[in-house]
Structure 1
Amino acid sequence: MTHTLDERAALSSAQSHADRQVLVRRLIFAALAAASIVLLLVLAGLALSAGGFDLVDLVLLLLFAATTPWLAIGFWNAAIGFVIMRFTRDPSTYVGPQAGRTIPPSAIAASTAILMCVRNESPDRMIRNLGAMMADIEAAGCADRFHVYVLSDTSLPDIASAEAAAFADLARQWAGRLPLTYRRREVNTGYKAGNIRDFLERWGDDHEFMVTLDADSYMTASAILRMVGIVQANPKLGILQGLVVGLPSTSAFARIFQFGMRLGMRSWTIGSAWWQADCGPYWGHNAVIRVAPFKQHCAIPVVPGKGILRGHVLSHDQIEAAMMRRAGYDVRVLAEENLGWEENPPTLIEFIRRDRRWCQGTLQYVFFVGMPGLPITSRFQLLFAMLMFTGSPAWIGLLIVSTAALAAAPSTAALIDADYGAALLAVILVTWFAPKIATVVDVLSRPALRHVFGGTTRFLASVAVETAFFLLLSPIMWVGHTLLLAGLPFGRAIGWIGQVRDDHAIAWSMALRQLWPQTFLGAACLAVLGVTQPVALPYVFVLWAGGLVLSVPICVATARPSVGFALTRLGIGRLPEETDPPPALAHLQLPALKAVQSTIAD
C-alpha cells in the first residue's frame, strides 16, 4: 500500500499523538503506583512504631517493602480496568485500537501454522481438542489456509508410541482437508522455546503467522480467525495474545482456582493493557505470532556459565515478547473471554509442580533485564514478573520475624499500634483482592452476568469459598517459592516435566510428604503465639499460618473426585460456560458440562 505525502504526514502525526498518549498513561500509572507504595510503607512504619522504632521494626519494614510493588501495581491495574469495563462500550478496543481494525475470514490470505507443543502426556485430550478445533476451522471454510503441527518433546517410550500412533491416525483422517504434521524430538534441547525454534528452522518460512497452543489449550475457529484477521490487518503487530480462561472442570481444586482467576483476570488485563499498550504480554500459548520477525529477532540465547539458572531458559514467553518489541513490532493483548481455554492442574500437588517450573524459569529473567535495546516498559515487565516469586520469601520472612518479635514482646501493643495495624491490614486486603472485587461489582451490577455465573446466591457463595481458598493457598505457594529459591545455590532445580491432568485422589501420606515444611512452619508459629501472644492468633492465621497448618487436608480434600462433583452439583465455582455452554465446547464432551446441565435439568 502506498500513501501520498499528505497521508504519510497525517499517519506520522497520528502515531506521534498516540505515542504521547501512551507515555502520559505510563507516567500516570507510575505515579499512582509509587504513591501507593509510599502510603503502604508510611502506614506500616506507623503501625510498627508503637514502642519506638528499632532494628526489628526496620527488618519488618524492609521485608514488607519487598511485597508492596506487587500490591500497588495489582491494585491500580484492577482499578483502571474496572473503570474501563464499566464506562466504555468496547473495553478491548479501547485499550487496543488494533482490535477494531480486522478483516473477515474470507479475506484471510496468509498461511497460518497451528502449533501444539506436547511433552510426556496422554494424547487423548490433545486429539479431542485438535479434532474439535480442526472441524471448526473446516466448517468456517478456511481449512486451506491452515496447517497443524504437533511438536512433541516426549521422552517416555510408551507415551511416545501411543502419541505417534494417535496423531498418525488423526493426520490420515484429515488428509486432503487440513494437513497435520507430527514431529518428535529425541532430546528437548531448549525446552519449549527450543521446540518452537526447531519448527521455525524447518517450516517457518512456509507460513506468515503461527498460533501457539499448549497441550491443554483449546481455541475455536472464530477466535483463531478473528485474531489472525487482526494481525493480518495490522502489519506492525508482531504478537497478539488472547485472554485465556479455564475449561469447566469437575476437580474441586481446579474449579475454585479458575473461578478466582476468572474474577481477577479481565480487570487486571484491561488495566495493564491501558498503560502497557504496545509492550503487552505473551503467555506462551493461545496467541497469534508474525513468523518472520519472531524467527529473526526472538531467538533466546543460552545463558552462559555454570549454575542452576544458567543454560537454556525454562520460561521463554516474556523474553520473546520483549525481543519482538525491541525489533519494532507491537505486542498486544486482546482482553476478551471467548478466545480460548486451558485446563488447570486438578490437584494442589500438580499445581505446585507447575508453579515451581514457572518460578525457576522466571528467575532467569535476571540475565535479560539489561539486554541492549529493550524498551523501558519491557524491562519493567521482566522485573515485575520476577517480583511475583521473589516477594514470597519476604512474606515468609514477615511471618517468622513477626512471630519471634511478638513472642519476645511484653504485649502486642509494644510491637504493633492497634489502630494503624488494623488500617494496614484493611489496606493490604483491599489491594490484594482488588482485581476480584472489581469483577464481583461488575457481575453483581449486570443481571445477565449474574445469571450465567449461576445466580446471585451461587455467585456470592462461590466468591466466599474462593476468598477463603485464596487466603489459604497463598502462603502454601510462598513457602514453595521460598524453598525453591533457597535450594538453588545447592543445585536443587527442576526440568521440563509432563503434567497429570486427569482428576485423581491424593493420599494423606503423599500430601504430608510434599507439604510437611508448610505444615511444620504454620504449626510452629501458631504454637509459639498460642503460648505467648494468643491475641495475635486470628491475624497471623488469616494472613499466613492458616493455609500452612491446613495445607495437607486442603490438598487431600480438593483432590477428591467426590468433593469436586459435589461442588459442581451445588454450583460452587460455576463459570458462564457451564450455565450457557458455547457450541464450540459441546464437541469436547466435558464431564463438568454434563454434570451442570443435568443439575439444571433437575
Structure 2
Amino acid sequence: MRARRKLVIALNLASWCGLGFVMGYINYATGWSVAGVAVLVLFLIALPWTLLAFWNSVIGFVILCCARDPAAYTNDALRETPPGAPIERLTAICIAIRHEDVSRVASRLATMREDLRATGEAEHFEFHVLSDSNQPEICAAEAAVFGSQDGVFYRRRPANTGFKAGNLRDFACAALGRVDFMLVLDADSLMSAAAILRLVRVMQANPRLGILQTLVTGRPAASPFARIFQFGMRHGMRTHTTGIAWWQGSSGPYWGHNALIRLRPLVSYCELPVSPERQLLGGHLLSHDQVEATLMRAAGMEVRVIAEEFGSWEENPPRLPDFISRDLRWCQGNLQYLRLVGRPGLLPMGRFQLCNAIAMYLGAPASVLMLTAGVLHGLSGSRGHVPGSLAFGMYFGMLTLGFAPRLLGVLQVMMRPAERRRWGGAPRLLAGAMTDALFTLMIGPVMMVAQTRFIVGLLFGQRIIWEAQQREGQSLPFGEAARGLWPQLLLGFCFGAALWRVSPGSLPWALPTLAGSLLAVPFACVTAWPRLGRWMMRVGLCAVPGEKEHEQVVGTSARAESWHGKVKEA
C-alpha cells in the first residue's frame, strides 16, 4: 500500500510540475508581467484536484480491464468473506428525512422490506425512519404512514440539532448495545436485498471494519438533466472509485449514505466537533461523512469501499438550480474542514482526505481569478509569440484531463460486448457519451461561477441551511432561471467583451467557457423540459442498465402505488 501511494504521489507531482513548466514557458514567451505570474500561480492552485481525478481514473481503468475481480482486488475485506455466510448480527436500516415527500420515501421503504422478506433474512433487520421535520402537514403525514406500519420504527426529533449527522448520532447512542450495525440511507436511497446482505456479511467477517461504503449509482430518471448527469457520472465514478480503492485501501471514502457502519466505534470515536456559530465556517458540520471516516480510521478501524455496481442507488437533482443548491451545501460543508485539518491524532491519510475535499472547491475561485488575470495579462501587452502547436496541445490536454474519467469509463464498456449490450449497444452508448460531453462543457462554467460567488459570500456570513432537495422533475420557467443564473450571464458577457478587446483570435479557444456562461439560462430551461425527458426515454438516449427493469424502480409496483394512496388519504 505504501508503494502504491508513492506511485500516485509521483504521478501527480510529475504531471503538476510538467504542466506548470508549460504554463510558465507560455508566460515567458508572451512576456512576464504581474498578471502573468498570477495566472501561473492560480493555474497551479486549481490543478491538483483535476490531476488526482485523472490518475485515479487511469489506474481504475487498468484494473477494470486487467483484474478478474476488480472489487476484490481493490478491497481485501471481500476476500476474507465466506460467500453465503449466515446473517448473525442485528442491523438497523436508518432513513434520515426532513420535509421529504412521504409517499416517495414510503415506496422505497416498502420495496426494500419486500425484497428482504423474500430472502428469509428479514428478522435480522430493523427499519427506522428518523425525522427532523417540523412542518405540521408533513409531520402529520409522516406519523400517519410510518407510525402505523408494523415493523417500522418512526421517531421525530423536535429540533434539527446537528442536521442529518446529529439525527443519526442520536439514534446510534440510543441503540448501542442492542444493534450491531447501522445502514445509513438518504431519503432518496434504494438498495437491493442482495446488496444489503453482502455488506452485512463482509462486516461480520471483518471485525476491524468500521465503515463499508458502496459505489452508488443514479436510478433511471425521466428528467433530461438527471439522465445526462448520471450517465456521465456513472462512467466516471466506476473508474475513479476503482482507482482510489486500489491506493487508499483501508483509508477509503465515506459519502454519507448507502454505507454500513459498525455502531460501537461510531459512537465511541466519531463524535463531530462543533465550533461557535459566530466563527467563520462555524456551527455544526454540514458534511459529516469524511470527518467520521477520518475519525474512524484514527481509532484503528478500517474504512473501505466496494468499487462495483451492485444494487445501490440514489436519485440525482432533476434541474440545474436544484443541482446547484445541493452542490453549494456540500461546498460549505467541505470548506468547514479547514477547521479540522490540524486536529491532533489524525492519520496522514485522514488529513489528506480532508484536504482533498477542500481542494475540490478551491479550483472554482482560482479559475475565475485566473481568467481575470489572463485578461489583465493581455492588456499589459506581450513581447513574444507562443507556438500554435504548444497552445493547441495545452488547451486540448487540459480538456482531456477533465473528461478522462468519463471517457475511460465509456471505453471500458465499449471493450466488452456483454457490457455494450447492457448499455443499449455501441451507437446509443456513443450518442450518450457525446451528449454528456456537451452537457459537461456547458455546466462547467455555470458551477465555477456559482461556487465562486458562494465562497465569497461565506466570507461575509452567508450560510446554507439543511433542507430537503427538489426530487420531482418539472419544467423551469425562463424568469426563474434568469434570476438565479444572471451572474453566469454577466461573466460570459464581460469575459467575451474583454477577449474581443484584447485578443479576438482567442475567442474560439474560449468558446466552452463563453457558451456555458452566455447560454446558462436556456441550458437550464431545456434540460428541465419533461417532454425532452420523455423523448430521451423513448429513444434510449443516456439510458443506463436496468432502465427497463421496472422492479428496480420505486413507484411502479402495486405495493408502491398503494403507499401513494395511503399518503393521499392521510
Query: Shorter-chain-normalised TM-score: which range?
Result: over 0.9
Is it true that 1:34 corresponds to 2:13 in the alignment? yes
- Alignment of 1:152 with 2:122, yes or no, is no
Deviation at residue 92 of structure 1 after TM alignment: 0.6
Residue of structure 1 in register with 2:341 after alignment: 369
Classify the secondary structure of the residue corresponding to 1:341. strand
Alignment of 1:155-304 (within 5 A): 155-169=134-148, 171=149, 175=150, 179-304=151-276
2:435 to 451, 460, 465: 465
2:509 is the alignment partner of 1:539? yes
Structure 2 residue aligned with 1:548: 517
Following superposition, the deviation at residue 303 of structure 1 comes to 2.0
Q: CA deviation at 1:399?
A: 1.9
Rounded Cα–Cα distance in structure 2 between residues aligned with 1:408 and 1:472:
30
SS at match of 2:183: strand
Residues 33 and 380, structure 2, Cα contact 8 Å, conserved in 1: no
Query: Take 1:130 and 1:348, find their aligned partners in 2: how far apart are those partners?
Result: 27
Matching residue of 2:372: 400
1:532, distance to aligned residue in structure 2 (A):
4.0
Q: Gaps (5+ residues) in structure 2?
A: 558-570
SS in 2 for 1:205: coil
Match of 1:109, SS? coil
Partner amino acid, structure 2, of 1:314: L
Tell me if 1:475 matches 2:468: no
Q: 1:63 aligns to what?
A: 42
One-letter identity of the residue aligned with 1:282: Y
CA RMSD of aligned residues (A): 1.6
Distance 1:144 1:103, change over 3 A: farther
Residue type matched to 1:522 in 2? G
- Tell me if the contact between 1:81 and 1:268 (Cα under 8 Å) persists in the aligned partners: yes
- 1:398: Cα distance to partner? 1.8
Q: Measure the CA separation in 2 of the matches of 1:147 and 1:284.
A: 19
Change (3 A) 1:485 1:586: closer
Pair 492,329 (structure 1): closer, same or farther in 2 beyond 3 Å:
same
Match of 1:585 in 2: 552
Match runs of 1:87-166 below 5 Å: 87-104=66-83, 107-166=86-145
CA positional deviation for 1:163: 1.6
Aligned to 2:497: 527
Aligned match of 1:391: 363
**TM-score, normalisation: structure 2:** 0.95
Q: How does 1:350-361 map to 2 (within 5 A)?
A: 350-361=322-333
- One-letter identity of the residue aligned with 1:566: W
* Matches of 1:296 and 1:527, distance apart in 2: 58
**Tell me, what secondary structure is at the counterpart of 1:269?**
helix
Whole-Å Cα distance in 2 between the matches of residues 99 and 403 of structure 1?
Answer: 53
What is the CA–CA distance in structure 2 between the aligned matches of 1:293 and 1:366, rounded to whole Å? Answer: 24
Q: CA deviation at 1:478?
A: 1.0
The SS at the match of 2:126 is strand
Aligned-partner Cα distance in 2 for 1:557–1:480: 19
Q: CA deviation at 1:59?
A: 0.4
- Helix, strand or coil for the counterpart of 1:79? helix
1:509 maps onto 2:479 in alignment? yes
Equivalent AA in structure 1 for residue 523 of structure 2: I
Uncovered stretches (5+) of structure 1, i.e. residues with no partner = 1-21, 591-602
CA distance in 2, matches of 1:156, 1:308: 30
SS at match of 2:399: helix
Contact 2:36 2:374 in 1 (8 A): no
Q: What is the rounded CA distance, in whole Å, between the counterparts of 2:176 and 2:194 in structure 1? A: 24
CA contact 1:220–1:584 (8 Å) conserved in 2: no
User: Could you say what secondary structure the match of 2:161 adopts?
Assistant: coil
1:198 partner amino acid: D
Kindly provide the amino acid, as one letter, of the partner of residue 453 in structure 1.
Answer: W
SS of structure 2 residue aligned to 1:107: coil
Three-state SS of the structure 2 residue aligned to 1:539 is coil
Equivalences, count: 557
Q: Secondary structure at the match of 2:366?
A: helix
- Please say if residues 47 and 424 of structure 1, whose CA atoms lie closer than 8 Å, have aligned partners that are also in contact: no
Contact 1:71-1:428 at 8 Å conserved across structures: no
Letter in 1 for 2:452: T
Partner of 1:432: 402
Which runs of 4 or more aligned residues in structure 1 lie more than 6 Å from their structure 2 counterparts after TM superposition? none
1:111 touches 1:209 (CA, 8 Å); kept in 2?
Answer: yes
